Structure 1
Amino acid sequence: MTLPHSTYRLQFRNGMDFAGACRLVPYLERLGISHLYASPVMTAVGGSTHGYDVTDANEIDPALGGLEGLRALADTLHARGLGLILDIVPNHMAAHLENPWWHSVVALGADSPFAHHFDIDWTEPLTLPFLGKAFEEEVASGTIRLAFDPAHETLALRYHDSFYPLHPGTHDQALEGSEDLEQISSNPARIAAIHAAQPWRLTDWKTAGRHLSYRRFFEIAGLVGLRVEDPQVFDDSHRLTLALVRDGTVDGLRIDHIDGLADPAAYLERLRSAVGPDLPLFVEKILEKEEPFATSWPVEGTTGYEFIASLADALVDEQEGGRLSKTFAPLRREGHAGSYGEEMQASKRQMLSENFEGEVKRVAMLAKALADRAQADLSRTTLVDAIRGLVIALPVYRTYTTAAGGDERDRLVLSAARQQALDAARPEVREAIDFIFELLVDDETCKALPDCVEFRTRLQQLSGPIMAKALEDTLFYRENAFIALNEVGGDPGRPTGGPEAFHAAMSARAQTMPKGLSATSTHDTKRGEDARARLYTLSEAPDRWIAATERWATLNARFRRVHVPEPDVEWLIYQALAGIWPIGGLEDHEAMQTLGARMTPYIEKALREAKLASDWSQPDVAYEEKVTGFVTDLLGHEPFLKDFNETLSPFIDAGLMNSLGQTLIKLTAPGIPDIYQGSERADFSLVDPDNRPLLDVASVAVPERPQPAPAHFMDYKQWLVATALAERARHPDLFAGPYVPIDLSDGNRQALAFLRGTPQAFALTIVPRLTFGKTRPDALLLTEDATRGLALTVPAGFEGRAVQSALDGRTFTLDRTMAIAELFKTEPIALLVSA
């Protein structure tokens, strides 16, 4: 087993299968990729577009080519010296009748051999929230009927195309007096009686947030939590995965949603023991700013969201001064005009009281039982409020306190959350907050109370989804001041820190997580890396952008439908459109024609995620159509298009420079560069599904050295990736070496630079910053004025060393200071490698 030096994320399904991936392998080899990083390939619900809704954890999806197809892909990769990393899903499976384990649980209830494989509360019937209306309404309308399921040869209640199996012990009751299924189905009372006899209850899907008898993945009732902390469940759900590791088919694993597990550290220890000490393991873990990675976990690192957040420090103008935020503030809706921190708390409060009401009640019931045992006079109502208060105050996705206790950092985080919750609480709730805090941090108290460990687990499994849904899928669609920062792992609520903060983060990364993945785009990012890089440039000319939005608001006023879209939504529309505007502008007729088709689903999703005028549970389609109609109208309005195109031109050029800069940073900074499919050329995508295009494997090829010009941007970026990855392959130890920040004469304003390695062998990366209005009109190169007088200071010990440019072949001798203008003479960025 070898550690990757680069990974290429490939999304299977939607037209991509193992045969297609095999045809892609020669291209990946030429690009310089060491490991193909595959999305989940276990059998999933029919028609799945992502594979995270697994129905059989021990079968490779036949729709992709099955086990033979996967092994053929692995053989093709291995024959060319590449490896295969597999994305696995230990937290959940599909709560779908195509899942044989789940079908067994529905059919047999607690008698099923898989009843305890899933995280189900068996003190009540299993809830199945998959009806469109209340059960009584569905029965009255005749949509629920007694039927014979030919696939499983059993009696079932049929709802549309789903056959919910009857418990075998209820078959005689169901057919008592008649075996005419149609006759029985025509009697609503009879159907209700048959239903009442089952170990499950069909309910309206809208009830899932209020009450559910099983742990779900976030808000998705169709995904049921696995009790993978149970050794038997671990073995049963990992049998094929471990076999593929042991026979050499798979060379690494990516673990999805590690924070959903009851005890992530224990799971990872068990997995590490099963796969051996050398197999690369990466966890999907979202770290908040300045949250350290758990270095005690036996893994290489995370999948790299924190790296994206650091790139904002590197490329956003830290002296923007909050002008975008100040302009956006008056545009906010009534009732949502607080500070970013206040709005975050409000979003978490909404999730806790509405979308996750049932989960909160379940945790509160555990807390109430513990309070009664401890003879604490606390009502369930005050405990609910205390739980909400602590989760709202928690600054991270979760803590990791177990039966063995938590570490010092968890105690500090919980102590700070306790104090914040106390400050905001009513007097009668404060005692409950202290009681819950004691359960979480006082191990002696917890040991004395049965079920205290389960309480700890449930609370921690709740806090992660609350943070994710409140932040990523609510607040990031409300706080639209500067949407480039609204990214997983980011913190739009505070200013970026500039190169100093970036260098600090990379220095720490080199020490604590040098083998983690460095991502710039993923299947879950809010927008593609190049769209984000372009939007960073709004910080360089905020006044120009603000003036333009005010001009466009007047220009497009005729298209509003009775104050719709609201000012904050219109602001979002202009920024989202700026991110995906074609490089060639109005001259790129083909790309221009797709904008409307791409923006419409994005806007619909953004409106529902914001949960202000529409949402997923009760979408206001008429309202949404007014907003998308506005977008359609402005995209057909020639004066607006011309103005927008002209205004955006310098932002586009500066954004392309940012794109190339962040690409080179990713390829040379601490960590393993991860390339999301197609992004080696360009990724100007919006959130999924816009970011799931099918790769044309027949046409991909690494180009010869192209000219650095806007018209050749995609070729140049692809060539840059291949060139830098070739250097990594030639010098693996060098790029695993120390990280050394480099100072520039202007205080690191116009460029960012760092060294990797030691004076004996090193590489020097230099990328431009803040290039708005400073690029040549004919090329992706800086003007002479942009870098006049700018120089970098070579650290002691590196002076006098000969270096060669990996991009244009020129050679230099490092003096104490080096003029940046010379380094950027022929290329927009610079990578110098010691000779």
Structure 2
Amino acid sequence: MTPERPDPVAVPTATYRLQLQPEFPFAAAEAAVPYLASLGVSHLHLSPVLEAVPGSLHGYDVVDHARVREELGGEAGLRSLARAAREHGLGLVADIVPNHMAMAPRHNRALWEVLREGPDSPYARWFDIDWRAQDGRLLLPVLGGPLGTELGRLEADGDVLRYYDHAFPLREGTGKLPLPELLDAQWYRLGWWRLARTELNYRRFFSISELIGVRVEDPEVFDATHRTILRLLHEGVLDGLRVDHPDGLADPDAYLRRLHEATGGRWTVVEKILADGEPLPAAWPVAGTTGYDALRQLDGVFVDPAGAGELLGQFRRFAGPQGDRGGHWESTVRRAAYKVLTHELAAEVDRLTRAADRVCAAAPDPALRDRAPWALRTALRELLVRMEVYRPYTSTDASLVVTGEAAAEARQVFTVPEEAAAVDAVRDLLLGRADGPGAGEFRARFAQTASALRAKSVEDTAFYRYVPLLSANEVGGDPGRPAVSPEDFHAYCARVQRDWPATGTVLSTHDTKRSGDVRAALAVLTECPRRWGDVLAEVTRVGPGVPDPLLAWAAWQTAFGLGPAAGDTGDSGDAGDAGDAEDSGEAGDIGDVEGVGERLGGALLKHVREAGLHTSWTEQDPAYEDAVAAFVREGPGGAPGRLIGDLRDDLAPQVRANMLGAALLQLTMPGVPDLYQGTEGEYRALVDPDNRRPFAPRRAPSEKSSLTGAALKLRRRRPDVFGDRSAYTPLTAEGPAAAHLLAFARAGEVVTAVTRLSLRLAEQGGWQDTRLELPPGRWSDVLAPEREFTGHARVAELFGPLPVVLLERTGEADGN
């Protein structure tokens, strides 16, 4: 039986993200439905549901768009989950992956056919392959060494070529050829994995060669890769979509228009990473983003700007020469971008250069001709590294992205003015001021390369080199300016309510490097930078020798953010909120090697490989990595870690205030809150795979889960208050501690108030006689309805047992 079809333009009141995997399939999600419905969300947000590489823990490595993933229970399992959800008043939102598929020929039938038949295959148009390179063959970088050393491990088996557990189709009529001739006769070239850096001739996801780019700009490819998802939408199994990585597409504008038309206008959000202050393209027919721009605001409003500056000074002194390499955010990003372009994305730059050369050589305007490939490559490199956003779009002004200032700087790299004109030629092509055969392809390729560069240089490199305050190092964040003022927060919320009222908001996702509660703890360090410096000096004195000071700084901050082993539940079992661990009977020591130490070890190994200063994913230094592991065991995971634990315990009230404050802001600010699995209660997790463990419902209530449930139920009960026509009104306190209160009203019916910079507040004597003028009416505490307020409420009384309060208007004030 098909679930009743929902309203095609229905907007969720709140979504709950579940990471599906073989250990948590559709049946497990269905069993959790009663619990999830009781929280007050309106929709379950599912990670990708289509067929993926067997055993995949995330589902973004799709191999078949026509089938729902069998390991999760297949389409029958998904339909059963949808029915159970509908019976409990819930809908389903699914993550879709239009940009790429898995480079796994054994499982990817479309790719298998391309490898067998070459560019004449009907599936060849699916994949973004440059057949003009590599002598018309597709490079497959799968060999463990150069071909000469691996030849003996290759075997022709009928119409299949085998290499360990890899299998590749043989071109018709070649199966009986001698092995060297057989290899040369294929539409693909098997190569050493290290060749991917410079020789690859297919577009991939960032620098991940195991994911091949899909050409959804082709209408036939769009139809084939979206048919099943669209059918599930129109049959009422799914209600909305989250679009993964639209920036990788050739034309996100056209793709989103086509998707909007095909879905009938279903609620859709896009994983668009906006730089601070960058607007979402107004022409996109979507509800908004997945919420990283909101995350930046939510984190920043709990950061003390003065203290963040002191932390930066300490970081530079502590990290020494390495700190100088990463001591300035903008220069760190620039250096990382140069490194990524010359290493991880060298093949992409080669392809982009070839595209530019073809356009210039055939351009009708003679001014574009006679541009040496090296000059075009240099111009492209210098323009790319100076971009401050992910990419330009056809619906926006490219001159705001590829700026005149960037071009002027790029020209300075050349010594001959006539050769520097290559910069102007490239920029004119990008801005549409010049044209020629292939110019459209060149512009699309530039935008795709720019997107991959920004992601790799910022998210995957600079965020691991520039680490004064780790909580600022999240996608969409600005580590060089980590603090957000209340005024800026209110201005952001007002813009969202006006322009994108149904956009997504998040605090934690499957991709955040640290969960929201870990970041809430780290933000407290900006209120006590000198105390942090003293503790850091002591753990450095008594602890083990460090592999390098940059890593040590990050390790000790990570240990502080993660907190005691009582929070070691990265699943959804509740360890009690800050201040409750002792009563829960689950308190642990931050020096618990099997808990915090083990998790720190995994996260910090990833940290040093991403930073790429001493070791990396492709050029590993075993001696250095062993030293890192030993340092974690003996330092943060050992006895010295207790000093960090003592500081964390002393600051527990401030951590609690930040954690509850950020949660309440997210749940009541403009937009649709998306809760990551387990984050309804305290959730301390590090980068994946630490944050992707199978979900389990929480065992017991806590302060945070009670607050979360109350806010979610209020949203569900009063959708008009939080909807697209709801007014957002900042509220300002009066009195000596007014700067420590952040408050706003929604539609004149709900008031949110939270404490910010609570340690500074305590040092200044608390709230004293600070008051908040409430909007007209009688107001009750949603968590404790017997508590009522009117008029000018004393903030100390308003907060009562918690450092936050959620009020609902229950009637007219007495005497009105």
| Cα distance in 2 for residues equivalent to 1:826 and 1:144 | 69
Q: Which residue of the partner structure matches residue 632 of structure 1? A: 633
Q: Which residue of the partner structure matches residue 645 of structure 2? A: 645
Alpha-carbon displacement from aligned partner over 1:157-197 (angstroms, at most 9, x marks no partner): 2110112111013235x2xxxxxxxxxxxxxxx32211001
| Cα distance in 2 for residues equivalent to 1:601 and 1:826 | 38
Report the AA paired with residue 289 of structure 1: D
**Mapped pair 1:369 → 2:358:** yes
Q: Indicate the SS of the match to 1:208.
A: helix
Cα distance change of structure 1 residues 790 and 414 upon mapping to structure 2, 3 Å threshold: same
| Cα distance in 2 for residues equivalent to 1:68 and 1:52 | 21
| Cα distance in 1 for residues equivalent to 2:441 and 2:411 | 27
Q: Indicate the SS of the match to 1:116.
A: helix
Q: Which residue of the partner structure matches residue 89 of structure 2? A: 81
| Cα distance in 2 for residues equivalent to 1:589 and 1:543 | 24
| Cα distance in 2 for residues equivalent to 1:170 and 1:820 | 81
| Cα distance in 1 for residues equivalent to 2:513 and 2:637 | 26
| Cα distance in 2 for residues equivalent to 1:555 and 1:171 | 66
Q: Indicate the SS of the match to 1:786.
A: coil
Q: Indicate the SS of the match to 2:281.
A: coil
Question: Which among 125, 130, 145 is matched to residue 133 of structure 1?
Answer: 145
**8 Å contact kept, 1:44–1:53:** yes
TM-score (norm 2): 0.91
**8 Å contact kept, 2:45–2:93:** yes
Q: Which residue of the partner structure matches residue 151 of structure 1? A: none
Q: Which residue of the partner structure matches residue 426 of structure 1? A: 414
Alpha-carbon displacement from aligned partner over 1:95-145 (angstroms, at most 9, x marks no partner): 112111111111111122201111111222011011111112111xx1112
| Cα distance in 2 for residues equivalent to 1:423 and 1:748 | 50
Question: Which among 376, 391, 395 is matched to residue 388 of structure 2?
Answer: 395
- What is the number of equivalent residue pairs in this alignment? 768
Q: How does 1:79-158 map to 2 (within 5 A)?
A: 79-97=87-105, 98-123=107-132, 124-139=136-151, 142-148=152-158, 155-158=159-162
Gaps of 5+ in 2: 1-6, 565-577, 811-816
Report the AA paired with residue 828 of structure 1: P
Q: Which residue of the partner structure matches residue 183 of structure 1? A: none
| Cα distance in 1 for residues equivalent to 2:637 and 2:65 | 49
| Cα distance in 1 for residues equivalent to 2:788 and 2:248 | 51
Report the AA paired with residue 7 of structure 1: T
Q: How does 1:558-597 map to 2 (within 5 A)?
A: 559-560=544-545, 564-582=546-564, 584=581, 587-588=587-588, 592=592, 593-597=594-598
Q: Which residue of the partner structure matches residue 795 of structure 2? A: 820
Q: Indicate the SS of the match to 1:430.
A: helix
Q: How does 1:348-497 map to 2 (within 5 A)?
A: 348-374=337-363, 375=366, 376-401=369-394, 406-408=395-397, 410-416=398-404, 418-419=406-407, 421-422=409-410, 424-428=412-416, 430-443=420-433, 445-446=434-435, 449-497=436-484
Q: Which residue of the partner structure matches residue 3 of structure 2? A: none
Offset of residue 325 of structure 1: 0.8
Report the AA paired with residue 263 of structure 1: D
Q: Which residue of the partner structure matches residue 601 of structure 2? A: 600
**8 Å contact kept, 1:119–1:225:** yes
| Cα distance in 2 for residues equivalent to 1:751 and 1:661 | 10
| Cα distance in 2 for residues equivalent to 1:636 and 1:726 | 40
Report the AA paired with residue 530 of structure 2: D
**8 Å contact kept, 2:768–2:796:** yes
Alpha-carbon displacement from aligned partner over 1:707-763 (angstroms, at most 9, x marks no partner): xxxxxxxx11111111111111111111121211111224752121111114xxx21
**8 Å contact kept, 1:742–1:755:** yes
**Mapped pair 1:168 → 2:156:** no
**8 Å contact kept, 2:101–2:212:** yes
Q: Indicate the SS of the match to 1:361.
A: helix
Q: Indicate the SS of the match to 1:13.
A: coil
Q: Which residue of the partner structure matches residue 55 of structure 2? A: 47
Offset of residue 333 of structure 1: 4.0
Cα distance change of structure 1 residues 137 and 679 upon mapping to structure 2, 3 Å threshold: same
| Cα distance in 1 for residues equivalent to 2:145 and 2:621 | 18
**Mapped pair 1:610 → 2:611:** yes
| Cα distance in 2 for residues equivalent to 1:590 and 1:471 | 30
| Cα distance in 2 for residues equivalent to 1:570 and 1:635 | 9
Alpha-carbon displacement from aligned partner over 1:227-249 (angstroms, at most 9, x marks no partner): 10001000111111111011111
Offset of residue 650 of structure 1: 2.8
Cα distance change of structure 1 residues 201 and 657 upon mapping to structure 2, 3 Å threshold: same
Q: Indicate the SS of the match to 1:355.
A: coil
TM-score (norm 1): 0.89
Report the AA paired with residue 733 of structure 1: D
Report the AA paired with residue 607 of structure 1: V
| Cα distance in 2 for residues equivalent to 1:536 and 1:395 | 25
Which stretch shifts more, 69-78 or 615-624?
615-624
| Cα distance in 2 for residues equivalent to 1:728 and 1:336 | 47
**8 Å contact kept, 1:318–1:496:** yes
Alpha-carbon displacement from aligned partner over 1:241-279 (angstroms, at most 9, x marks no partner): 1110111111001111111111111111111111113x1
Offset of residue 785 of structure 1: 4.3
Q: Indicate the SS of the match to 2:125.
A: coil
Gaps of 5+ in 1: 149-154, 175-189, 704-714, 776-782
Cα distance change of structure 1 residues 729 and 369 upon mapping to structure 2, 3 Å threshold: same
Report the AA paired with residue 786 of structure 1: G
Cα distance change of structure 1 residues 170 and 333 upon mapping to structure 2, 3 Å threshold: farther
Cα distance change of structure 1 residues 396 and 11 upon mapping to structure 2, 3 Å threshold: same
| Cα distance in 1 for residues equivalent to 2:31 and 2:773 | 46
Q: Which residue of the partner structure matches residue 671 of structure 2? A: 671
Question: Which among 770, 786, 807 is matched to residue 790 of structure 1?
Answer: 770
Q: Indicate the SS of the match to 1:381.
A: helix
Report the AA paired with residue 309 of structure 2: G
Report the AA paired with residue 768 of structure 2: R
| Cα distance in 1 for residues equivalent to 2:320 and 2:390 | 26
Cα distance change of structure 1 residues 12 and 587 upon mapping to structure 2, 3 Å threshold: closer
**8 Å contact kept, 2:156–2:175:** no
Offset of residue 615 of structure 1: 0.2
Alpha-carbon displacement from aligned partner over 1:662-689 (angstroms, at most 9, x marks no partner): 1110110000111000111122111000
Q: Which residue of the partner structure matches residue 343 of structure 1? A: 332
Alpha-carbon displacement from aligned partner over 1:465-505 (angstroms, at most 9, x marks no partner): 10001001101111111111001100101242321221111
Cα distance change of structure 1 residues 589 and 418 upon mapping to structure 2, 3 Å threshold: closer
| Cα distance in 2 for residues equivalent to 1:303 and 1:674 | 8
**8 Å contact kept, 1:650–1:772:** no
Cα distance change of structure 1 residues 789 and 427 upon mapping to structure 2, 3 Å threshold: farther
Q: How does 1:643-792 map to 2 (within 5 A)?
A: 643-697=643-697, 700=698, 703=701, 715-736=702-723, 737-745=726-734, 746=736, 748-758=738-748, 762-772=749-759, 785-792=765-772
| Cα distance in 2 for residues equivalent to 1:388 and 1:641 | 44
**Mapped pair 1:216 → 2:204:** yes
Percent identity over the alignment is: 38
Which stretch shifts more, 421-430 or 676-685?
421-430
| Cα distance in 2 for residues equivalent to 1:723 and 1:147 | 62
Alpha-carbon displacement from aligned partner over 1:288-331 (angstroms, at most 9, x marks no partner): 10001112211111100011100123111123251111111131
Q: Which residue of the partner structure matches residue 29 of structure 1? A: 37
Cα distance change of structure 1 residues 731 and 33 upon mapping to structure 2, 3 Å threshold: same
Q: Which residue of the partner structure matches residue 181 of structure 1? A: none
Offset of residue 551 of structure 1: 1.4
